[in-house]
Amino acid sequence: MRPLVKICGLSTPETLGAALDCGADMVGFVFFAPSPRHLDLATARALAQLAGARATRVALTVDADDGYLDAIVDALGPQMLQLHGQESVERVRQIRTRFGLPVMKAIPVETADDLAPVSAYAPVVDYILFDARAPKEATRPGGLGRSFDWTILRGLDLGVPFLLSGGLDPDNVARAIAITRPHGVDVSSGVESAPGVKDIAKIRAFIAAARAGGDSDLDLSPTPTSTSIASRA
């Protein structure tokens, strides 16, 4: 199965155009002020017009209230909401019902024990996104270039599609796909030249590598350890 490719944190017409031209399935836009990828609503509206129907527009929020979500939906016209905060199962259900949009819920992962909440969220979401758990001192929950031991996702059957995120880049995405066999991969910092500054060449390289990885069967022996995986972030 060829995985979906999501390029997240896009903020300029040039980088959005590169992602679309290279065939990204999903394009993500961040609405969270502490992030270097945060968009104002006017910019979001302009980028939405550029994207059109060429890819699924995903609005990433962190514990946003209904008023802010209303404004984001009006400006971006997203086809999916990505909830990247501490939203409860009930809050996710409320958002999905209120806006009538597919929802992707991010789950922070460091060890296999962190997969426990998935069973509660699976019935109320359309996708699960696994991202590396942020350190306690972090000001945002994702986009930090951190990874985790991908092998804990091997053979995972959630009953709902999942995307892999956290520390992915053009050099390691094929390996990550071979280990986890996700429904999709999501990258932000791994295609940047500086925090919040997308690199067109890296976007192209990432999408090409993800496509190649989805079409091949890599040799998974020996199994990489969490240390070796994290070192590639």
Instruction: Tokens 């932000």: give the residue.
Output: 188
Q: Which of 25, 131, 149, 186 is labelled catalytic?
A: 131
Whether 8 is a known active-site residue: answer yes
Closest by Cα among 85, 115, 20 to 103 = 85
CA distances, 151 to each of 10, 57, 107, 112, 178 (Å): 29, 29, 16, 9, 10
Give the three-state DSSP class for 193.
strand
**Cα separation, 122 vs 105, whole angstroms:** 9
**Cα separation, 172 vs 152, whole angstroms:** 17
Whether 131 is a known active-site residue: answer yes
Structure token pair of residue 65: 């209230």
Instruction: Tokens 């925090």: give the residue.
Output: 195
Q: Which of 8, 25, 149, 169 is labelled catalytic?
A: 8
Number of helical H runs and strand E runs in the chain: 8, 10
Active site residues: 8, 131
